[in-house]
Each structure stands twice: as structure tokens, then as C-alpha cells.
Amino acid sequence: MPPGETVPRSLFDKLWARHSVMEHPIAGTLLYIDRHLLHEGSRNGFALLKRKGLPVRRPDLTTATADHYAPTDNRSVETIDVRSRREIISDLSANTSAAGIKLFDLAHPRQGIVHVIGPELGLSLPGLTVICGDSHTATHGALGALAFGVGASQVAHALATQTLWQKKPKQMRIHLTGQLRPRVAAKDLILAIIARIGAAGGTGFAIEYCGAAVEALSIEGRLTLCNMTIEAGAKFGLVAPDEKTFDYVKGRPFSPTGDQWHQAVASWRALASENDARFDQEIEIDAGTVEPMVTWGTSPEDSVSVNGCVPDPTAIADPSRRASKQEALDYMGLSAGMPMADIRFDRVFIGSCTNGRIEDLRAAAEVLRGRRAVLPALVVPGSMAVREVAESEGLDRVFKDAGLEWRMSGCSMCVGMNGDLAKAGERCAATSNRNFVGRQGASVRTHLMSPAMAAVVALHGHAVDVTRS
């Protein structure tokens, strides 16, 4: 390269360079952490810190919420009848108050799932590093942040030092060309991407999403897209910040204001990947060809169009893969060749950090308005703020009139840690991100789909193409 010329840099390269404190030949890069988000899982990190007798270095850059164990039928810790759950929520209060960390507890009007409230409160912003001891932290990358999930020892390290050692991953760029058809959602898009590249397709990569279909997505849609990046194996998912991002971020409780706002926007504008920035892998998908997707197996990569059929594992050449897909079908109680639309459901869950935002609830309500569900269904807003907006728009009435239960915010049936579970053996249509064995209860079969599709299942008891219904 001639002197004076610089290598064209990607969004990820710039975010990484802006936060690099030092390099080490073995440990990688010491990154400065701008925002550390905590939930009940921080318990182990705090315990490690205590054992070493270390204080929290920057409580002002650390924020907590109670989400995984939050009861969704009321807001009182005392009424939780399982002692361990009560203790875990109380520990979060004790640990955060001892360290002077702001906690959005059950009683707080802005409580919610960590990945919903981060962006909503303006804690997660373009250009920042955001970490959380939770695998879905890439969600925040939708704003153009370097956001990633960490383990308990890294939570402790970040609490003590406000830094983390990381090895720079390879980079992948996914071009999403064309436009999603009406009622085809970001959820369908990410399910289609994972079906294409596989649940391990992104392992070792940071993924930047770009192209006309990404530009057209709302911020909520981009958050859904980045949220499930970990389900393709990648720790980081990113979208370059644009005018939509700035509009979304502006005026949020923790967003910069005045002169700082103008300076911030100027620096955010410089983040986008430069022309000719090099990626280790590039993939192109025409968003216009994506249909409403439904999973049939026990990995998020196991999805097909609602208009398709359960695939035949005997067609898979690799014997161990063939066996694992057959095992998935057996667990799911499905046979190869069966039309997806013939699968009969028992229950519906609308919520989670993937699809618990206002736009998701609007999409579900639009399908349900004036109609009656034939299945039991829970609607759990991703945050109390989402709940409030939904109620101001009358969406709670739409859900209740259709026979659905309208709850308070938390992770709820996405993982069932608070006790919101399906009954043994039931088949559940869920807007969450993982269809793992037993995740929603013992022997429960989870099918992932978009909020509009889950609403359709609630109405009919089986999946119907929402773009045609």
C-alpha cells in the first residue's frame, strides 16, 4: 500500500479501534466498555467480585433490570411462591444497591427485558460498546453499537475494570437486497438467513447486515435481526447507524442532548463501512423472496416457509447430521413431508427480546382485531414502556377481546425461568428465538415464527400464510 493511504475500514473495524485500550499477543484486545447491562444472571459475577474483595469500578456506566425471573401476572416479589426465584430477584436488588447501580426493578415503570430497555432508554447508543451477561446482547448492534454477550467471569472483570479482553473475530457481510413483502417481518428474514447459513454459519464472525431491505427496516425490525444473530453462531450483529437510527435515539432518557447530541451524531455518521472495506465472507439474499417462516425442529436453523413441508432427513448425506435432524423430528412429533400448515398447536406465546416491541404487538393485534382465538395465548410486552404505549393504542383490548392474556413485561415463556411454561407435551407457537428441547417446559415443542404468524395460529389452531389471510 502506498504511503499515506489507509486500509478501508468496516463499521466493525472502526468500533473496535475506537475502544481498543491495548493489544496483547495472546489475550487479544483490551476493549473499553461504555455500557454494562445486568440482569439476574449477574449474581455469579457479583459473587466472584466479592470473593476477590473488589469494588464495582463504574456503577454509573452499569444498569440492571429484573427480567428472567419477573412474574408477569403481578409485580410483587413477595407473591413469588418459589423461594429460589424470590431470592434471585432479591439478590439483584441487594447487589446493585450495595454497588450504587441503577436497577429497573419490578415496581419501576421502565422495567423490561434488558435487550428491550437498553435501546428504549438510550443506554445503548451508536458507537458504544455494550455488554451483558446474556447471549442475545448482539441485539443492541442494530443501533451501530459494538454489543456482545459475555460469561460470568467476564461480567466480574468488566464490573471491576470497565474493560474486557476480546479477540477480534472475522467479519461477514450479509447484503439483504430487494424489499420484504407486506406482513413478512424481520423475524422471517432472520429465520431465512439462519436456515441458509446454518446455526454455526456465523461462528467466529461479526456479521454486518446491509442493503436496501435493511435500510427499509424500522429500528424495531433491525433489533429483531441482530437479536437472533447468535442463533447463527455469531456473537456480534450490526447495522450501520443512519437517519432512522438518529431519530430513534433522539430524546430518549439517557441519550445525549444539546451540543453533545450534535457532536455525537457527527461522530456516528462517520461509522459506516467504507467502500472497499474487506470482509472475510459476503452473502447476498433477496429479501423479496422471503416467505413467512416457521421452524419444524429443535434448532433455529430448522425453518421453512409456512407454505412448505417438513423436510426429509433421509435426504441429508452426512450421517451425524441426518441422525440429529431425525432426532429433532421425533422430539417434535412430526413426519417428513407433512405440510407445515397441517401442524396442530396447543398454545401461543407472543413476546421476548426478539419480538416483544411495540411494532410486534401492533402486527399481532392487526391480525387479531375483532376476532376470537381458539388457543390459549399469552401476550407479554418486552417492557413496561411498550405495555404503556400498547395500552394507549388500545392493543390490550384487542388481545383481551380475542381471548388472549395480557401480561406485564419480562422474559416469561421464552425460557420459563419465572414459571410461565407450557404444559408437558404441548406444541407452542412462539415469537421468541430458541426452539431448544424443553426450553418452554418438559417435552414442550416450540415452533418459532413472527408475531403476525403467531397471531394467525392463535386464530386457526394451525399456521396459515399471513400474507394471504
Residues 329-368, interacting with ligand SF4 (CB under 6 A): 352-353
381-414 burial: b if 16+ Cβ within 10 Å, else e:
bbbbbbbeebeeeebbebbeebbbebbbbbbbbb
41 binds, among ligand IPM, ligand SF4, none (CB under 5 to 8 A by kind): ligand IPM
C-alpha cell at 196: 441458509
Residues 62-81, interacting with ligand IPM (CB under 6 A): 68
C-alpha cell at 43: 449474581
Phi (first) and psi of residue 283, to 5 degrees: -130, 145
Mutual angle of helices 358-368 and 219-227, in 10-degree steps: 100
C-alpha cell at 127: 458507537
Contacts of 26 (CB under 8 A, 6+ apart): none
Out of 433, 435, 440, 446, name the contact with ligand SF4 by CB under 6 A: 433
Segment near ligand IPM (CB under 6 A), from 78-86, 130-138, 191-199, 276-284? 130-138
136 contributes a contact to ligand IPM by CB under 6 A: yes
415 contributes a contact to ligand SF4 by CB under 6 A: yes
Q: How many residues bind to ligand SF4 according to rule CB under 6 A? A: 13
Q: Find, among 67, 110, 247, the residue nearest to 255 by Cα.
A: 247
352 binds, among ligand IPM, ligand SF4, none (CB under 5 to 8 A by kind): ligand SF4
Sketch the per residue contact string, 250 through 289, with ligand IPM: x for CB under 6 A, - otherwise: ----------------------------------------
C-alpha cell at 40: 439476574
Q: Residue 329 and residue 240: Cα distance in Å, rounded?
A: 38
Out of 38, 56, 77, 113, name the contact with ligand SF4 by CB under 6 A: 113
Q: Residue 303 and residue 415: Cα distance in Å, rounded?
A: 20
Residues 23-42, interacting with ligand IPM (CB under 6 A): 41
Phi (first) and psi of residue 123, to 5 degrees: -75, -45
415 contributes a contact to ligand IPM by CB under 6 A: yes
438 contributes a contact to ligand SF4 by CB under 6 A: no
Residue 10 or residue 299: which is nearer to ligand SF4 going by CB?
Answer: 299
Give me the residues that bind ligand IPM (CB under 6 A), please. Answer: 41, 68, 134-136, 415
Give me the residues that bind ligand SF4 (CB under 6 A), please. Answer: 67-68, 113, 115, 134, 136, 352-353, 411, 414-415, 432-433
